[in-house]
Amino acid sequence: MGGFSLWHILILAIILLLLFGGNRFSAMMGDVAKGLKSFKAGMSEEDEAKQQQQQQQQQQQRQIPPQQPPIDITPQAPRSADQAPPPPPRDDTAR
């Protein structure tokens, strides 16, 4: 009882068509369609711009060599007994 029936919707559609006319209504729908198309085009342009930016960043990362020097892990013998590091603590002694 409180909802719209099919008859209510049809009567409302007829009144809207009479108020706006056939040409005006179709022109409005055409404008809506153009707006949707331009919105979709704008969204695809943003996606393309993001992809190009990511590709440029990847190319820049490939071109820049790492600036860190290699790590030297060769052991060096102490020059004298005074400079020798102390031996590690033993496990059997109390701390």
What's the pLDDT tens digit per position in 21-57? 777 777 888 898 999 999 988 888 888 888 888 888 8
For residue 16, pLDDT over 60 is answered with yes
Q: Write down the pLDDT at residue 34.
A: 93
Residue 46 φ/ψ, nearest 5 degrees:
-65, -40
- Residue pLDDT, tens place only, 56-75: 888 877 776 667 777 888 88
SS3 45: helix
Which tokens sit at 17? 């068509």
- Round the CA-based radius of gyration of the chain to a whole number and report it: 39
